[in-house]
Amino acid sequence: MDSLGAIAELINQNDDFLVAAHVSPDGDTLGSALALARALARLGKRAQAVCEDAVPHIYEFLPGAADMLRSENARPARVAVAVDCADAQRLGSALPLFRAAEKTINIDHHETNNAYADYNFVEKAGATGEHVLRLINLLGPEPDADMATCLYAAIMSDTGSFAYSSTTPDSLRAAAMLVERGADPARINRRIYRTIPFGKQKLLGATLTGLALHENGRIGLACLSAADIASCGALEEDTEGIIDHIRDVEGVEVAILIRESASGVFKVSLRSKHFADVGGIAASMGGGGHKRAAGYTVLGSMEEAASGALTLAREALRA
């Protein structure tokens, strides 16, 4: 493990950076990448923010989102930073760019992180955005309102609006500081959670209609084929957040949402309420995450993906 101080020193000695977010980007990876890229630019350095996927609609308001590059439009840089990526594969098509850098940095908060970079700062926290705020404070540029907006969105979204068990006093202190710096909690919350595309809301309805309970109601499972998503007029990115509604059902300990992300490719999202270690399940399937929120990708049919996930979830209930 390297210190944030050592990482700040490496950053100070260089001027060409690539900051990479993970595939199927969420608020934490995007907010962290955009804030760090902005801080580097403020220090007079070149910084490209990169992601395999386009910025999802709900995060388009984040300052700098319009400048986020798809992997094919980015160029290699001397130093590459991965934010919120538990393993190198999470970079998807940005991985070759990351590997092409002379020095690589990994800043993350996932317990399953496997320290894949030259410099690794991995510590449990509500969000990677908390670590990026600490790094920016070490680097020196006062976080401006745009950086504050990105980092507040990162922490708010990954802590379930400061409600998950991962929320710590540090998460709340960071949020308070970001509000002092110009982040607007009401606006950020409205943009991410209360400006829902019609198709996404219909998809929530369709998912809950198809929700099935197993193991006396302790496992909730819903499956979305590409056709299900399309028939609601929704996009794959619109599945974000739906699993929370499965976990919230009374008695459910493990929530499973499976979506078809390409023909024969299934993305399994997992959440647990009190005790089940879904990060362990995900890691055993080549994915990863946290004890209470994790995911993996599996090939085959929807039926196979569902029965495989159910078997693992039953084991997690017994452990």
The residues in 227-286 that bind ligand 5GP, with binding defined as CB under 6 A, are 269
User: Cβ 268 to ligand 5GP, closest distance in Å?
Assistant: 8
Residues 6+ apart with CB under 8 A from 91: 20, 22, 23, 52, 82, 85, 98
Among 27, 129, 295, 308, indicate the residue that binds ligand 5GP (CB under 6 A): 295
Interface positions with Mn ion (CB under 5 A): 28, 84, 128, 158
The residues in 76-95 that bind ligand 5GP, with binding defined as CB under 6 A, are 86-87, 90
Residue 289 near ligand 5GP by CB under 6 A: yes
Element (H, E) at 244: helix 242-247
CB nearer to Mn ion: pick between 27 and 220: 27
Query: Mapping DSSP to helix (H, G, I), strand (E, B) and coil, where does residue 317 land?
Result: helix
User: Cβ 33 to ligand 5GP, closest distance in Å?
Assistant: 13
| 154-155-156-160 Cα dihedral, nearest 10 degrees | 110
User: Cβ 203 to ligand 5GP, closest distance in Å?
Assistant: 15
Residue 288 near ligand 5GP by CB under 6 A: yes
Which residue in this structure is represented by tokens 């998950």? 164
CB nearer to ligand 5GP: pick between 63 and 279: 279
Distances (CA, A) of 208 to 167, 216, 250: 27, 18, 14
Residue 159 near ligand 5GP by CB under 6 A: no
C-alpha–C-alpha distance, residues 75 and 93, integer Å: 12
Which residue in this structure is represented by tokens 């399953």? 112
CA 105, distance to chain mean position in Å, is 17
User: Cβ 70 to ligand 5GP, closest distance in Å?
Assistant: 19
User: Cβ 89 to ligand 5GP, closest distance in Å?
Assistant: 7
Residue 120 near ligand 5GP by CB under 6 A: no
CA 184, distance to chain mean position in Å, is 21
User: Cβ 240 to ligand 5GP, closest distance in Å?
Assistant: 7
Residue 297 near ligand 5GP by CB under 6 A: yes
Taking CB under 6 A as the rule, which mask of x and - marks residues 16-55 in contact with ligand 5GP?
Answer: --------x-------------------------------
C-alpha–C-alpha distance, residues 16 and 241, integer Å: 35
Buried b (16+ CB within 10 A) or exposed e, 77-87: bebbbbbbbbb
Residues that bind ligand 5GP (CB under 6 A): 24, 86-87, 90, 112, 269, 287-290, 293-297
